[in-house]
């Protein structure tokens, strides 16, 4: 006998959660329906092997590039739909792979499958090379006998993820270029132009304008301390980069990013869309809600949001409703929770999760446009202000000397 967590509708119209002992899901469903309950969901006992199985393997491996991985899965799904055996399909794709890293990985996968291992076991043996959601989806496809359909759903999921990353990089490329150009211009003016003007200002004494004195002081400081200031900046940047790769550093940076005015809401919306899409993909593959959320939570890239989400899984295992458990994380948008709640009560959770992901993908694009449209003029104004300040520092003494010259002659 095994224990099943069941979400039920009572004859009085209430939604309740019960733990039922039965030999199989069908037995539990039949027994509950005989008792007059409407069965919304039955969570089987945790299957040993799915969660632990997808965690095995070396974690030191680097992942395959997203574009190469997406192309491989598109081709693999097409070959499996055409009825080509798995081993033959992997062999064909390994020979045609252009990326050296992917080719090496597929060679190891091919060897494992040829030795009798399942495809999911062969991919999971690669450790961190492949996302955990991928190996779990393949395992679910093998169990259900619909591996090609599961792969097609995963391809759709990955295509959206890759497309979103491209949009983010494209939107932030121009502001990043402007920021670098601003920094380079400031360094050039203060270390090359201003020092050559300082000899001209030597005869002015203390009659120089305040802005000129400040710029000259900053220029002298930068040129006089360049031998130790430059290496200090480089070493400091490397130290900050290394610190940002540690769990505590990433958690601190992610927490700070969530507090930024526009970027914080953008990160929340992107994380909500990613988690909803991952969960919908796993549920569509036949994986239970408990294991699906355990894997989908790993797709949340912001460590602070992932930390807040860690309290959800124990509540689901206790039999609490999924919607109620999500509220304890205290970061998901209220509209997303309401939509998920409607899907859970109506028995269409997976479909509603797809709607949540699509909605917040669109919201993220709008928020990203707002962020870039705010950053670009802000950087231009900053760059213009710095350049004008330096130019004023250079030309104000000259203008003052010209305007005061005739008066001195009289």
Helices then strands, each counted (H, E), the chain: 19, 3
Contact in structure between 212 and 201 (CB atoms under 8 Å):
yes
Give the per-residue pLDDT at 408.
Answer: 44
Least confident of 1-5, 99-103, 110-114, 383-387: 1-5
List the alpha helices (DSSP H) in 225-246: 226-244
Output the six-digit token pair for 382: 């900053």
| 22 DSSP β-pair partners | 2
What mean pLDDT do residues 27-34 have? 82
For residue range 219-246, list pLDDT tens digits in order: 888 777 778 877 888 899 899 989 988 8
pLDDT at 102 over 80: yes
Element (H, E) at 6: strand 2-9
Query: What's the farthest any 2 CA atoms get from each other in the chain?
Result: 113
Residues 410 and 405: their CA atoms lie apart, in Å, by: 9
Least confident of 253-267, 304-318, 388-402: 388-402
For residue range 48-66, list pLDDT tens digits in order: 444 444 444 443 456 678 8
Give the model's confidence band at 352: pLDDT under 50 very low, under 70 low, under 90 confident, else very high.
very high
What mean pLDDT do residues 253-271 have? 88
pTM listed for this prediction: 0.69
What mean pLDDT do residues 16-20 have? 71
Give the per-residue pLDDT at 242.
Answer: 92
Sorted by where each begins, the domain ranges of the chain are: 2-45, 51-161, 171-410
> Is CATH 3.40.190.10 correct for 51-161?
no
Contact in structure between 185 and 176 (CB atoms under 8 Å):
no
Give the per-residue pLDDT at 51.
Answer: 46
Give the phi and the psi of residue 42 in degrees, each rounded to 5: -130, 120
* DSSP state letters, 60-78: SSPPPPHHHHHHHHHHHHH
List the alpha helices (DSSP H) in 82-225: 86-96, 100-114, 119-124, 132-144, 147-188, 194-198, 210-224
Q: CA angle 121-126-132, nearest 5°?
A: 75
Q: CA angle 329-332-337, nearest 5°?
A: 100
Give the model's confidence band at 290: pLDDT under 50 very low, under 70 low, under 90 confident, else very high.
confident
For residue range 306-348, list pLDDT tens digits in order: 888 888 888 888 888 889 889 888 888 999 999 999 998 888 8
Residues 394 and 198: their CA atoms lie apart, in Å, by: 9
End-to-end Cα, the chain, rounded Å: 111
Residues 386 and 389: their CA atoms lie apart, in Å, by: 5
Burial class (CB in 10 A: 0-12, 13-18, 19+), 407: exposed
Give the per-residue pLDDT at 410.
Answer: 42
For residue range 378-388, list pLDDT tens digits in order: 888 888 888 88
Give the model's confidence band at 122: pLDDT under 50 very low, under 70 low, under 90 confident, else very high.
confident
Residue 142 CB partners (closer than 8 Å, separation 6+): 118, 119, 120
Give the per-residue pLDDT at 378.
Answer: 85
For residue range 156-182, list pLDDT tens digits in order: 888 887 887 888 888 888 888 888 888
What mean pLDDT do residues 68-82 have? 87
Residues 219 and 213: their CA atoms lie apart, in Å, by: 10
Give the per-residue pLDDT at 238.
Answer: 92
Residue with the larger pLDDT of the pair 206 and 145: 145
Residue with the larger pLDDT of the pair 325 and 198: 325
Give the per-residue pLDDT at 337.
Answer: 92
Give the per-residue pLDDT at 407.
Answer: 44
């Amino acid at each position: 006998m095994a224990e099943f967590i069941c979400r039920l509708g009572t004859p009085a119209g209430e939604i309740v959660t019960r733990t039922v002992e039965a030999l199989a899901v069908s037995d539990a469903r039949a027994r509950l329906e005989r008792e007059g309950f409407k069965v919304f969901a039955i969570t089987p006992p945790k299957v040993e092997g799915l969660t632990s199985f997808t965690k095995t393997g070396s974690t030191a491996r680097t992942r395959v590039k997203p574009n190469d991985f997406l192309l491989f899965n598109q081709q693999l799904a097409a070959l499996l739909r055409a009825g080509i055996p798995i081993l033959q399909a992997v062999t064909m794709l390994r020979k045609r792979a252009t990326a050296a890293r992917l080719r090496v990985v597929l060679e190891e996968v091919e060897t494992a499958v040829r030795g009798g291992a399942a495809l999911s076991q062969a991919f999971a043996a690669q450790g961190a090379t492949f996302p955990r959601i991928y190996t779990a989806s393949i395992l679910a496809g093998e169990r259900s006998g619909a591996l090609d359909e599961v792969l097609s759903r995963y391809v759709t999921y990955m295509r959206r993820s890759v497309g979103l990353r491209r949009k983010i990089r494209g939107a932030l490329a121009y502001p990043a270029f402007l920021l670098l150009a601003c920094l380079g211009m400031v360094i050039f003016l203060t270390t090359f132009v201003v020092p050559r003007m300082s000899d001209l200002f030597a005869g002015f004494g203390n009659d120089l304008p305040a802005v000129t004195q400040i710029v000259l002081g900053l220029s002298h400081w930068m040129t006089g301390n360049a031998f130790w200031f430059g290496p200090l900046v480089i070493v400091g940047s490397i130290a900050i980069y290394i610190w940002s790769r540690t769990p505590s550093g990433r958690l601190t940076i992610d927490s700070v990013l969530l507090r930024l005015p526009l970027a914080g809401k953008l990160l929340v919306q992107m994380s909500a869309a990613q988690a909803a899409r991952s969960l919908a993909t796993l549920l569509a593959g036949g994986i239970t809600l408990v294991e699906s959320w355990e894997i989908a939570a790993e797709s949340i890239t912001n460590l602070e949001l992932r930390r807040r989400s860690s309290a959800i899984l124990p509540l689901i295992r206790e039999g609490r409703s999924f919607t109620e458990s999500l509220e304890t994380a205290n970061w998901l948008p209220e509209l997303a929770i309401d939509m998920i709640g409607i899907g859970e009560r109506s028995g269409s959770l997976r479909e509603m999760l797809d709607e949540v992901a699509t909605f917040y993908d669109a919201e993220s694009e709008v928020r990203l446009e707002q962020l870039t449209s705010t950053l670009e003029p802000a950087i231009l104004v900053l760059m213009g202000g710095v350049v004008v300040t330096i130019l004023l520092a250079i030309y104000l003494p000259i203008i003052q000397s010209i305007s005061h010259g005739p008066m001195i002659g009289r």
